[in-house]
Structure formats: structure tokens, C-alpha cells
């Protein structure tokens, strides 16, 4: 069974701090990795994806991928209260290329 693991949180950070969200996956054949943000009762929305080892930056967000360690993370710089949400890690792989989702980490940014 392919698995994607995330700490459920809640992760609480003060406004302006860096929030670090982590995800591990079990399938070494996984090929691409996605981070979604989901506000309570709303649909998940894509923040960014990564498929090469290293860092990928998009505004205040940085995704980091280490395939050898089967680890992907999301850093949010200058965290804002509006970043308070659940962050879902998703991994694509396998013969069908479907996404497998982690259960999400709830982030709370305190003013």
C-alpha cells in the first residue's frame, strides 16, 4: 500500500515566521509531488509542484524534494494569518499516475 505521511498538527507559528511542513512517502517510484492548501469546508487548491531534487521557489513558498530520503517539504516565509489552513501533500506515481494524498497538516498562524 503506497502511503503519504504528514504530521496532522496543528502547527502553530507567529505571524511573520517561517512555517515548515513535512511529508514522507513510501513509494520510491513516485515521480512528482504536489502541495495543496485547503481552507475548512472548501476544495483543495494547488500551491505548487516539484519533481526534481532540490528546491523550487514561488513567491513566499518553497518546496524541497529529497528523493533519496523520500521526503518533501513546504516552507512558507513571512507567514500570514490568511495562510491558516490545512496543507495536503500529494504524490504521483505508479502505473496509473494517480495522486495519493496525505491526511494533511493543519497550520495556524497567530497574529
Partner 1 sequence: DADVTQTPRNRITKTGKRIMLECSQTKGHDRMYWYRQDPGLGLRLIYYSFDVKDINKGEISDGYSVSRQAQAKFSLSLESAIPNQTALYFCATSAPGLENTIYFGEGSWLTVV
Binding site for partner 1 (CB under 8 A): 8, 31-32, 34, 41-46, 49, 51, 88, 90, 92, 96-99, 101-104
The nearer residue to partner 1, 42 or 77, going by C-beta atoms, is: 42
3-state secondary structure string, the chain?
Answer: CCCEECCCCCEEEECCCCEEEEEEECCCCCCEEEEEEECCCCCCEEEEEECCCEEEEECCEEEEEECCCCEEEEEECCCCHHHCEEEEEEEECCCCCCEEECCCEEEEEEC
The nearer residue to partner 1, 17 or 94, going by C-beta atoms, is: 94
Q: How far is the CB of 110 from partner 1 (least distance, A)?
A: 23
The nearer residue to partner 1, 43 or 69, going by C-beta atoms, is: 43
Q: How far is the CB of 83 from partner 1 (least distance, A)?
A: 19
Amino acid at each position: 500500500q503506497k502511503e503519504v505521511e504528514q504530521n496532522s498538527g496543528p502547527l502553530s507559528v507567529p505571524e511573520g515566521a517561517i512555517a515548515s511542513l513535512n511529508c514522507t512517502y513510501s513509494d520510491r517510484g513516485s515521480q512528482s509531488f504536489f502541495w495543496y492548501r485547503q481552507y475548512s469546508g472548501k476544495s483543495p487548491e494547488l500551491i505548487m509542484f516539484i519533481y526534481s531534487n532540490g528546491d523550487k521557489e514561488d513567491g513566499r513558498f518553497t518546496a524541497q524534494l529529497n528523493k533519496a530520503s523520500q521526503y518533501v517539504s513546504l516552507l512558507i516565509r513571512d507567514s500570514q494569518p490568511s495562510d491558516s489552513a490545512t496543507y495536503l501533500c500529494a504524490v504521483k506515481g505508479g502505473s496509473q499516475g494517480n495522486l495519493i494524498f496525505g491526511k494533511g497538516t493543519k497550520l495556524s498562524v497567530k497574529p
